[in-house]
């Protein structure tokens, strides 16, 4: 592809006919004829690798400052230029798709999956890009990031178009918005779920976190916003597009969930809008499930899906891996896996489970290393306040010492009357929970959710809690 077809070259006409064979911002991936884009990342600055990229065969280097190499183009914002170059390299596939972007702290994965289910029930072949996986046609691959790098993103969108997809539902992270990974995309609908205390290790302040999330609505034709969230006012203030609101509490909202009835295995509610009402029987318990289902339903309605199709699809939807996921045990106690990894999500799932427990509610959790330390004691206190027994263990310690993380958690549990144990090794902690379970106990394994690894010292080691539970149950059967 000629360079002039990738980027605008007002001052570099001598390079416009250079043939470009690939685009990358990673010097390790450079091949002969590539366009290398120098991006200043969180750990390294791509400008430092410009010479290496040329030595590896880069035909053109796109930079924000002089790197001293030949065939260099200077542009004020290489992140945006990289996103646009990647889009052009793959033929701007997003223009052939109806895009849905979902941002927020909690609920993105479940909500995006539900929207995909509803759209497919309406006859639209739909791709998905999210925290757990990317789904293109019949092919599903694990995700490395909630929202991928611009090159991988547009490559995935191209694959969706070639697979016959007409729609794509995408989780849009605050990291992706700040780093312009989705720059240039236009979303048919942008969705705001909620905003709570998270990712401050990266964004530093809640104000900046909020600002980055709000960027989605500068790229949307219309917005769907949960006005029950305390940060909804800010999202509404920045929206220049038409807005549809939803609520469980505010009668002024365009759509409401009314007459909510909680069940041990789900929740029923009426989805109420102007001149329409339908009864949803949703298969995941808790108030947060009502928000997820309501948000997915309203978004789908804005995309033109018939109301009855929305109601039926929500009522037929099954659970999402790692989100209040019931693990079969064949015993007289229950094991649930959930991704709750911040204070708000942990409190939400514990509050939901407490309504249905008949024995003890046992919470097993840890906190991630190299992340916001402030939420560790908060989560310790929440676990102690809302559980009958707590097992404090490791999550993804990353480069931190697990015991240091655990000690931070225990600060929040000081003075608690709730009994607890510290078992640093997560596998051993799960084995301990299974071995000591009593009849009617409910064991919550919080934090890992869909993840099938544990990251220690920068290395991801295989760890699937479903396998660990199964092994522990086999051991228990032998011993009993």
**Rounded (10°) angle between helices 343-354 and 287-302:** 110
Domains in the chain and their CATH numbers?
3-89 (3.40.1390.10), 93-316 (3.40.1190.10), 325-479 (3.90.190.20)
Please compute the mean of the pLDDT values over residues 299-313 and round it to a whole number. 98
SS3 state at 382: helix
pLDDT at 318: 85
Residue 334 is encoded by which pair of tokens? 């229950």
pLDDT of residue 407: 98
pLDDT at 284: 87
Going by DSSP bridges, is the β-strand pair 34-37/22-24 parallel, antiparallel, or unpaired?
parallel
**Which sign, positive or negative, has the C-alpha torsion 116, 155, 131, 217?**
negative
Q: Minimum mean pLDDT among 170-184, 193-207, 357-371: which range? A: 193-207
* Residue 480 pLDDT: 67
Can you give the pLDDT at residue 266? Answer: 86
State how far the alpha carbon of 360 is from the alpha carbons of 177, 240, 294, 391, in Å. Answer: 42, 49, 31, 13
pLDDT value of residue 198: 54
Retrieve residue 54's tokens.
Answer: 């040329």
Scan for tokens 């539900």, then name that residue.
Answer: 114
Q: Dump pLDDT digits (tens) for 409-436.
A: 999 999 999 999 999 999 999 999 999 9
pLDDT, tens digit (0-9, with 9 covering 90-100), for 361-408: 999 999 999 988 999 999 999 999 999 999 999 999 999 999 999 999
Phi-psi region of 41 (alpha: psi -120 to 50; beta: other; left: phi over 0): beta
Nearest to 426 by CA among 399, 401, 457, 448: 448
Please say whether the beta carbons of 42 and 370 come within 8 A: no
pLDDT given at position 197: 60
The pLDDT of residue 204 is 60
Burial 198-210 (b: 16+ CB within 10 A, else e): bbbeebeeeeebb
Helix/strand/coil for 370 = coil
> Tell me: the pLDDT tens digits for 353-374?
998 888 999 999 999 999 889 9
Nearest-angstrom CA–CA distance, 158 and 163: 9
Highest average pLDDT, of 100-109, 260-269, 437-446, comes from 437-446
pLDDT at residue 85 above 90? yes
The mean pLDDT of 286-301, rounded to a whole number, is: 95
What is the bridge-based pairing of β-strands 98-103 and 189-192?
A: parallel
pLDDT of residue 201: 57
pLDDT band (50, 70, 90) for residue 41: confident
Q: How confident is the model at residue 202 (pLDDT cuts 50, 70, 90)?
A: low
State residue 199 phi and psi, 5-degree precision: 60, 25
pLDDT above 90 coverage of the chain, percent: 80
Looking at residue 340, its pLDDT comes to: 93
The tokens of 266 are what? 């789900």
Average pLDDT, the chain: 93
Distances (CA, A) of 407 to 31, 201, 300, 453, 461: 47, 19, 45, 23, 23
Query: Around Cβ 259, how many Cβ atoms within 10 Å?
Result: 11
């Amino acid at each position: 592809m000629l360079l002039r077809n990738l980027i605008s070259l007002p001052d570099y006409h001598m390079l416009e006919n250079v043939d470009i064979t690939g685009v990358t911002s990673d010097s390790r991936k450079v091949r002969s004829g590539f366009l290398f884009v120098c991006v200043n990342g969180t750990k390294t600055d791509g400008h430092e690798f410009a010479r290496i990229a040329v030595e590896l065969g880069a035909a053109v280097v796109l930079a924000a400052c002089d790197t001293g190499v030949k065939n260099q183009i200077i542009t004020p914002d290489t992140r945006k230029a990289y996103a646009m170059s990647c889009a052009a390299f793959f033929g701007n596939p997003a223009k052939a798709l109806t895009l849905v972007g979902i941002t927020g702290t909690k609920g993105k994965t479940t909500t995006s999956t539900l929207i995909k289910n509803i759209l497919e029930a309406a006859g639209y072949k739909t791709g998905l890009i999210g925290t757990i996986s990317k789904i293109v046609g019949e092919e599903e691959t694990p995700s490395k990031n909630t929202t991928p790098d611009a090159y991988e993103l547009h490559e995935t969108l191209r694959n969706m178009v070639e697979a016959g997809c007409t729609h794509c539902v995408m989780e849009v992270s605050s990291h992706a918005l700040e780093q312009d990974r989705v720059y240039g995309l236009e979303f048919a609908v942008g969705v705001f779920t909620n905003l709570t205390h998270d990712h401050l290790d990266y964004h530093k302040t809640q104000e900046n976190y909020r600002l980055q999330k709000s960027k989605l609505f500068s790229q949307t034709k219309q917005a769907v916003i949960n006005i029950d969230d305390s940060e909804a006012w800010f999202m509404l203030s920045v929206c220049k597009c038409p807005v549809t609101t939803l609520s469980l509490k505010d009668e002024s909202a365009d759509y409401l969930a009314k007459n909510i009835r909680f069940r041990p295995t789900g929740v029923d509610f009426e989805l109420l809008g102007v001149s329409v009402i339908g009864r949803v029987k949703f298969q995941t318990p808790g108030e947060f499930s009502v928000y997820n289902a309501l948000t997915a339903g309203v978004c789908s309605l804005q995309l033109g899906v018939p109301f009855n199709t929305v109601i039926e699809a929500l009522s037929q939807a099954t659970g999402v891996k790692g989100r209040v996921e019931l693990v079969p045990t064949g015993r007289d106690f229950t094991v649930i896996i959930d991704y709750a990894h911040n204070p708000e999500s942990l409190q939400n799932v514990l509050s939901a489970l407490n309504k249905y427990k008949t024995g003890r509610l046992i919470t097993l959790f840890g906190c991630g290393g190299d992340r916001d330390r402030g939420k560790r004691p908060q989560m310790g206190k929440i676990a102690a306040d809302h559980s009958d027994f707590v097992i404090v263990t490791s999550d993804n310690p990353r480069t931190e010492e697990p015991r240091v993380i655990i000690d931070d958690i225990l600060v929040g549990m000081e003075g608690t009357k709730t009994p607890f144990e510290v078992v640093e090794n997560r596998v051993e902690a799960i084995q301990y929970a299974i071995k000591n379970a009593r009849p009617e106990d409910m064991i919550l394994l919080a934090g890992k959710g869909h993840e099938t690894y544990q990251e220690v010292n920068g290395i991801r080691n295989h760890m699937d809690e479903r396998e660990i539970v199964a092994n522990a149950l086999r051991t228990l059967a032998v011993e009993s």
